[in-house]
Structure 1
């Protein structure tokens, strides 16, 4: 979904319900495998005009970009859609950062180490200040971690296995886990920790991220205004420790309607847009510089295996054969997508497994070819051979999901199944991403780490009750995920995670539809540098530049 989840998630990731909200940075297809070293053109980044524009240091006084949906809060612990991160990661930072290509790097911690399998030590940089001018201290970090661990926080799941978090020096924070968990290395990154000041959090408990309170952080920008149904405005934070950004003033306008967004671009009301569906992005190519980049996001159908009709595997298989996934990627996404064979895109495996090993494992996954005769045969084996009626809801910010649902509905009609396709606002859709609420749901997820466990732990582990939409329960899968948590060796850990992926495939708790790309558009006198798969989970506006002469 970080893509978009909330609540306590035990030791499993919640991102499920989160990033889901394709309210992020795009919605198209995936390309090359990400290597352990950051490529010059991340993950097949491709500009619509075939160029790789360079940026200059020319100042940009104001920049206005369109976003496809509104936000109800700026606090990612309360609403963690990808668009919430797009805003929050400009104003707030974490101990560590996730680079555009998915590599861990320094953040508010200038260095870090792991003395043993259960201990992580972070050394804060000396020059970090909040936008109000106060220094970032260990007390601020501890208070922010406690806020993330609070029972009302949607990030609490990521910290459930932490035994202690202490200041062990003037600039040193030490985290001790209850037991080894290799995935914790990604926890002190923006997806599950954004740091604010202790005083601000105490003064504004329950009000952080609201229009009246906004955010306080140490990032390159500070939020100056927020209207939940209209815009977010930000100004450059002159206290930021990093290199001074070119953009001084930034406005993110919420424009849900595709036609209105393009008119705004043509009229000069906006300088670009994030999160453009492929069919819409094509219409921008004449007016703007559109860049497509593999973002590792996944769109899938989640079948509730604990309730009828999807407690019957033959019904799930009938849906799988009735879904023309290749036609969806070609006709709806104009080829800027790849039919998905599982939730985890091949690029997510990074340096855990070689590309050849990933390809070999994925080649053995069920293909679920589009074939209505096979679909009829599977339905005939089920307890629902006479058909049934159910609903499928998609978010208004993801029209491509709605189009895919209509394509599926047309095929299912041939089987005697009525699928009612319904649209909801992004906020309504995220709120409805709760296991057990509906027998059939879309999973739309944007990863915010370079770790495949972000998806496997949240969506395949039976213990991940807040995000396990299908109520999926497989002892072999749970065992593989548990083994991966305890394993430090990258190759062994990758093997365990791949076992979980392959063991779950035949059960079909999800029908993966496609792995997508991100589409960003800016006026042709601007360039968005380093548009990698994780470009928006960090200080992305610092990479918007005037095009070099």
Structure 2
């Protein structure tokens, strides 16, 4: 049976005032894959990008040395055919395959070294992946050796993160990219990456229109197995209902952010949905360094606010129970989480702690992205937090923002509460310490302290993190459990919901799966 399809080659789907506009075509466009999602792109530069959309884009365009198998735990070869690690996890040697970039030039050790140095020195959001890298050398054209400054049992896992995808160094340098020590200032290539790509992956960037459309074209010179689709179009549809409607009518092939409740409302026999647990989570973050908050948002006050939240009710309120609670900023199922005790609401204790701190009439402002992430509407989520805080006498003003404004105001400390989300970059708990840990120089210390790191730094965490990275197995897991407990005690990052993930696609699409490193592996998807 034939059905009407949308013009995927020109304007797959645009939303304006809640209406859907599309241009019909007569030609068969089965060679194009259309994906609906609310795009959260902050950059398309591999060294600066840091978002869910970025994950599957970078995975499709730039290849990593190793990647994650479908079991979401096992590392398998990618650009590296094999690797060696010394006994104390300080030296890592990779032996490269005979791969080539999209311009036909070979992927060599020099490209790998340049990519990792640039990732480290640009000092973008994913630069923490290269923390501790002190030496990178080419043993020969196809062998590269890295040395880190201290034992790091997660370095292999780190290089499966999509942000470590290897860049064609010569092409990028020609566009103004730099891997030098001063790359954070000298590198001028970010805007170039919004219009071009320089990877070895099965796809290349075709066009990008911010908050509208991301379009990929098949790399016809790809050295590996060719992907099934000549073109992939990611089109902006912000809400779950809109995505579901587009999926049911055949306007899109895959919808990435349908929540479980919306999935139950889909009646089309041409749509397949599967609900699976995820490692993703949404959270609120406290910012004691925000303007006027240094003597207000103390640890006792933060802990009281954490006690005010109705975590069970939050699950029902946001995702209709289709998810899980999460104790610390370590995803359920990751090393160290089995021994953590879930947070529980305690209104009376919260009130007592606020009174003891002299903050019974506390007034806060929460600035957060106005978006729907993993089927969680952030406005609904924050309304629930607002209600829970009101139960202990805390007034909180909600300030939904565009992503661009949110990023600017976050760095300036404009408000003391925010809400964000996190998806894993690889399988391993170390990344959460490197991002959320209250360790000097780490990303969330800078966010929460806003230049006053002493407000939030927890010296115990640095020692525990070193222990975790210097060990493996049970010893490492025990250290991560203690780190989780410390981060819970800090009460800076408060996970609210770990939503189940809905895989939703047309019935003629196969190969759709959830990846803990790469979100949605586009090269594995085909049409039946």
TM-score, shorter chain, exceeding 0.5: yes
Distance of aligned partners of 1:512 and 1:227 in 2 relative to their CA distance in 1, 3 Å threshold:
closer
Residue 94 of structure 1 corresponds to 64
Q: Is the 8 A contact 2:161 2:426 kept in 1?
A: no
Question: How far apart are the structure 2 equivalents of 1:258 and 1:515?
Answer: 17
The answer as to 2:520 corresponding to 1:498 is no
Corresponding residue for residue 252 of structure 2: 270
- Asked if 1:328 corresponds to 2:298, the answer is no
Shift of 1:174: 0.7
Mark the CA change 1:378 to 1:288 in structure 2 (over 3 Å): closer, same or farther: farther
Distance 1:183 1:533, change over 3 A: closer
Seen in structure 2, the aligned counterparts of structure 1 residues 178 and 476 have a Cα distance that, compared at 3 Å, is: closer
Report Cα offsets for 1:254-311 as digits up to 9, x if no partner: 2224444344334332122113344444444646212222221222222234544653
User: How big is the alpha-carbon RMSD for the aligned residues of Structure 1 and Structure 2?
Assistant: 2.7
CA contact under 8 A between 1:392 and 1:419: conserved in structure 2?
A: no
**Is residue 462 of structure 1 aligned with residue 434 of structure 2?**
no
Q: Match of 2:522? A: 541
Quote how far apart the aligned CAs of 1:130 are. Answer: 1.2
Q: CA deviation at 1:94?
A: 1.3
Aligned counterparts of 1:72 and 1:455: Cα–Cα separation in 2: 20
- Of the structure 1 ranges 425-434 and 117-126, higher mean CA displacement relative to structure 2 is found in 425-434
Question: What is residue 404 of structure 1 aligned with on the other side?
Answer: 381
Q: Is the 8 A contact 1:204 1:213 kept in 2?
A: no
Q: Is 2:82 the counterpart of 1:105?
A: no
Q: Which residue is equivalent to 1:147?
A: 118
The one of 361, 371, 383 aligned to 2:358: 383
5 Å-filtered alignment, 1:54-65, equals 60-65=30-35
Query: Which residue of structure 2 aligns with residue 508 of structure 1?
Result: 491
1:290 maps to 2:260: no
User: What CA deviation, in whole Å up to 9, does each residue of 1:305-338 have, x standing for no partner?
Assistant: 4544653344323322321221121232122111
Counterparts of 1:426 and 1:527, CA distance in 2: 32
Number of the residue aligned with 1:115? 86
Structure-1 residue corresponding to 2:129: 158
Question: 1:158–1:187: 8 Å Cα contact kept in structure 2?
Answer: yes
- Taking the TM superposition and a 5 Å limit, the aligned residue runs for 1:41-80 are 60-69=30-39, 71=41, 73-80=43-50
- Aligned partner of 2:211 in structure 1 is 229
User: Any conservation in 2 of the 1:277–1:519 contact (CA below 8 Å)?
Assistant: yes
Deviation of 1:208 (Å): 4.7
Are the counterparts in 1 of residues 195 and 207 from structure 2 also a CA contact under 8 Å?
A: no
Structure showing greater relative contact order (alpha-carbon pairs closer than 8 Å, 6 or more residues apart): 1
| CA deviation vs aligned residue, 1:429-462 (integer Å, no higher than 9, x gap) | 3454448553212241111111111112321232
**1:477 lines up with 2:461 in the alignment:** yes
Partner of 1:185: 156
Determine the structure 2 residue equivalent to 1:82: 52
Using a 3 Å threshold, how does the CA distance of structure 1 residues 426 and 278 change in structure 2: closer, same or farther?
Answer: farther
Q: How far apart are residue 70 of structure 1 and its match?
A: 5.4
Q: Distance in 2 between matches of 1:315 and 1:260?
A: 40
Change (3 A) 1:346 1:410: closer
Change beyond 3 A, Cα 1:477–1:310: farther
2:138 to 167, 190, 207: 167
Report which stretch shifted further, 266-275 or 448-457.
Answer: 266-275
Kindly report structure 1 stretches of 4+ aligned residues shifted beyond 6 Å. none
Which residue matches 2:183?
A: none
Which residue does the alignment assign to 2:343? 367
Contact kept in structure 1, 2:288 and 2:448, CA below 8 Å: yes
**Residues 1:214 and 2:196 aligned together:** yes
Matches within 5 A, 1:407-446: 407-434=384-411, 436-446=413-423
Matched, 1:520 2:520: no
Q: Distance in 2 between matches of 1:509 and 1:181?
A: 25
In the alignment, the residues of structure 2 paired with residue 336 and residue 217 of structure 1 have an alpha-carbon distance, to the nearest angstrom, of: 38
Structure 1 pair 489/322, CA: closer, same or farther in 2 (3 Å)?
A: closer
Instruction: Give the superposition deviation at 1:154.
Output: 3.6
Do structure 1's residue 345 and structure 2's residue 320 form an aligned pair? no
Separation in structure 1 between the aligned mates of residue 300 and residue 342 of structure 2, nearest angstrom:
14
Distance 2:42 2:434 in 1: 27
Q: How has the CA–CA distance of structure 1 residues 311 and 153 changed in structure 2, closer, same or farther, with 3 Å as cutoff?
A: closer
SS of the residue aligned with 1:348?
Answer: coil
CA deviation profile, 1:114-140 (whole Å, cap 9, x unmatched): 1343211000002x1112222212222
Contact 1:303 1:310 in 2 (8 A): no
Moved more, 83-92 or 416-425: 416-425
Distance in 1 of aligned mates of 2:261 and 2:191:
33
Alignment partners' CA distance in 1, 2:144 and 2:434: 26
Q: CA deviation at 1:78?
A: 2.5
Offset from partner CA, 1:29-70 (integer Å, 9 cap, x none): xxxxxxxxxxxxxxxxxxxxxxxxxxxxxx951111112125
Pick closer, same or farther for the CA change 1:209–1:337 going to 2, 3 Å.
farther
Give the deviation of 1:501 after TM superposition.
Answer: 1.4
TM-superposed deviation, 1:182: 1.8
In structure 2, the CA distance between the partners of 1:257 and 1:294, relative to structure 1 (3 Å rule), is: closer
- CA separation of 1:72/1:373 partners in 2, compared to 1, >3 Å: closer, same or farther? closer
Residue 373 of structure 1: how far off its partner (Å):
3.4
Q: Distance in 2 between matches of 1:256 and 1:482?
A: 41
Unaligned stretches of 5+ residues in structure 1 = 1-58
Q: How far apart, CA to CA, are the structure 2 residues paired with 1:366 and 1:402?
A: 24
